[in-house]
Chain A
């Protein structure tokens, strides 16, 4: 996985770009979604090997189900639940997309779980490579400039 800062900055940039086109809400939830699949890393804090159980959080199906549970547990209003689910779910899927780019010998993401246990990786960046962090920072900067430009145009 890239570091969490890269995930959060990329997600923030994506949220900014999407808000140019759509009426976006819940940026914080979207950013939280961008870290949600890494719940599986909680296994590192335990002396027991929890990875076999927690690994599903790092799959598209697991991430979407978790988003669904959180949105329905935390909120009662149906419309709000839908918005929260979309924000968390999109953020989570974006996390997995970024993780796919990171190089790994045995794959990063079980894309088709539960149909298949094969993990995939596109092997574009090394995990410690700072290129992704620079790209995330640049994307965020460009997104702020785009938002500012749009505000000026509207005014």
Chain B
């Protein structure tokens, strides 16, 4: 392995470690869920699967699940662009009260389960296109310059 490769690998590992060490500056969903005590009363960004929907006056009470944790999402109906249903995904910005099992959303976006599955299927469809393109230039790549 050449010196430049080793140097690049060292740089990548160092930056990766630096990123992980500063995870509080860009917390992932699992990190927030695991350390919800630290975010009590603070703003969080999360994505949840919609398990159940209830309604109270002008707000929805969505039972959501992120990383195996189930909690309630209080969201005013005027924040939603569509009526949530079971199996949908909800992205939201909210104030966390996960100690008490709920969050209060300030901003939310619903994606239907169907849209989510279609997104996944479209991504899978790219794989054969890519493999075909690589296969067609295999001689150019590995058959000398």
Q: Which residues on A are within 8 Å of B, measured CB to CB?
A: 3-9, 12, 25-29, 31-32, 35, 43, 49, 51-56, 61-62, 65-66, 68-69, 72-73, 77, 79-80, 103-106, 110, 113-114, 117, 119, 126-128, 133
Q: How far is the CA of A126 from the CA of B9 in the complex (A)?
A: 35
Of the stretches B23-31, B51-59, B69-77, the one at the interface is B23-31
- Count of B residues near A, CB < 8 Å? 51
Closest residue on chain A to residue B127 by CB atoms: A4
Shortest CB distance B89–A (Å): 10
Evaluate contact between A128 and B118: CB separation under 8 angstroms.
yes
Evaluate contact between B30 and A51: CB separation under 8 angstroms.
yes
B45 contact set on A, CB distance < 8 A: 105-106
Q: Digit string of B1-27 for contact with A (CB within 8 Å is 1, else 0)?
A: 110110011011001111110110110
A49 contact set on B, CB distance < 8 A: 28, 30-31, 34
Which 6 A-B pairs give the minimum distances between C-beta atoms? A4-B126, A3-B122, A28-B134, A28-B133, A106-B45, A52-B20
Closest residue on chain B to residue A84 by CB atoms: B141
Q: How far is the CA of A56 from the CA of B28 in the complex (A)?
A: 13
Q: How far is the CA of A66 from the CA of B115 in the complex (A)?
A: 31
Q: How far is the CA of A51 from the CA of B23 in the complex (A)?
A: 9
Evaluate contact between A128 and B115: CB separation under 8 angstroms.
yes
Shortest CB distance A67–B (Å): 9
Q: Digit string of B114-128 for contact with A (CB within 8 Å is 1, else 0)?
A: 011011101111110
A-B contact pairs, 15 of them (CB 8 A): A4-B124, A26-B140, A28-B135, A28-B136, A28-B141, A49-B28, A51-B31, A52-B23, A68-B8, A72-B8, A103-B109, A105-B45, A105-B109, A110-B26, A117-B22
